[in-house]
Structure 1
Amino acid sequence: MVQFHIQTDSEIPASTQLYDQIWFAIASRQYPPGYRLPSTRQLAMQTGLHRNTISKVYRQLEDAGVVEAMPGSGIYVRAEGTTEIVKPGSPLLDKFPKAQELVENSLDELLRQGCSLHQARELFMAEVDWRLRCSARVLVTIKRDDGAGELMVRELEQALKIPVQLVPLEELDQVLAQTRSGTVVTSRYYVNEAEAIAAPKSVRVIPIDIYDYAKERELLKNLAKDTCLGLVSLSTGIIR
């Protein structure tokens, strides 16, 4: 049985997600002509959607000519030759006229590499989902008295060109409780503590290495005795 996945935190309505996925299953021959579609009860159990929502999706597919309802029997994929399946359009193509070509070329390349249509869909959905999560919010977390956090924020903002928020590790749980998605960045010294807080909320933690000043420390060791040296830092935590 084809597995349908409804993303509850997506901006796309659940009925549209299901409609597109069933259409894809038919177009990719996972549901071949003459195949009996799952009952509304079966899909309700699998997706968590109300049976009325699923019935609405089936009616839309019937109106589009890709399935037909047989009273007392169920919903079936139309046999070949009974109707022409037209590729669904999107108003986004008016705004991004080259989008269709880019999508088709990417899909063709995956198929040439031996990927099935079902696998290609999973790859696209996983990548889109990950990027949506990453774009939602980027949090740098580190212990309150560790001044390296300011450096991490500055470096990430320069590299990513997006705002980055500094959150003390002691407040991370409270902050994540108020946001639906995000990406947490921390140093490898705090990754276990950060993951313990973020994992139950399905938030990914990315550890990054902080510059260890090894060259600078070596220079300090080789300075002549009684040499005067001044240190400037964003915080006393970094100097320590």
Structure 2
Amino acid sequence: MRFWFSPASEVPIYRQLVTQVVLAILSGDLSPGDRLPSTRELARRFSIHPNTVSAGYRELEREGWTEYRHGSGVYVKNNAVPPSTPEQILDQHIAGFFRAVRELNLPSGEVRHRVAQWLASPPPDHFLLIDPDPEVREILLAEIGEFAKFPVSGASLEDCANPETILAAIPLCRPSQANAVRAVLPAGVELITLQIRSARAWLDSWLPSLKGRRLIGVASRWPDFVEIARTVLEAAGVESDLLVLRNATRPRWVRGLDQTAAIICDARTAATGKLPQGPRIFVFPFLADAARAELSRFC
């Protein structure tokens, strides 16, 4: 096992030893029954006092991580209890991070520097939906705003050239825009790619009730929404002359929708309050349930 010790740190050397051994056990770098280096070996290798190493080993034994075998040394104890508390699970993830770092053979100073940069950055306090299409952006913002407890705002790709735009933000994007968005974000910034709902699966749940010679309206400010809905509906067997297609950016776009049996629209169009009250309104949720669940965990 590889150890790092920093005499300049405010954390005592013995505590640095304890922390690294615990993380190694949690990550699997050390297994039950593995023997730790002797007190004399560690003291000589890192030029630290043997009493400091002994203090660390005693602490590990008190905490139940190791056991001392007389005449043989210090061994990792077989506790066989998986992490269960949030703190233990967090320690396991931290341990996995350090294991990955060791596999990269990065100098410890560079690792500390990068970690310090992350810790020094302000904690995220809002989502930032990044999309080049302003209409799609507004639709998704309206949808996310209905269920997310975390504030959300929108930005274009050009907006992200300003570092202030992504400060304290968790960027979001559609799958089709992931490469373009990553290209404008600084290295290391977390990006959540939103899973989009299957339009066909969503339609299958209610379309049979509307089959027959009944008009179906489609309305949205996003032209692609109207075209995609038209394509899917016709593929599902709805005749083209039964579709009333409306671009909500145009004047008098609601004309004729009151004659339909149902209207398919997006969250933003539904929120305008301009849709007629007679037809059934079906708001297509762009975000899949998995994406909604992921965003709902932030608060």
TM, length-normalised to structure 2: 0.38
Rg larger for: 2
Q: TM-score, normalised by structure 1?
A: 0.45
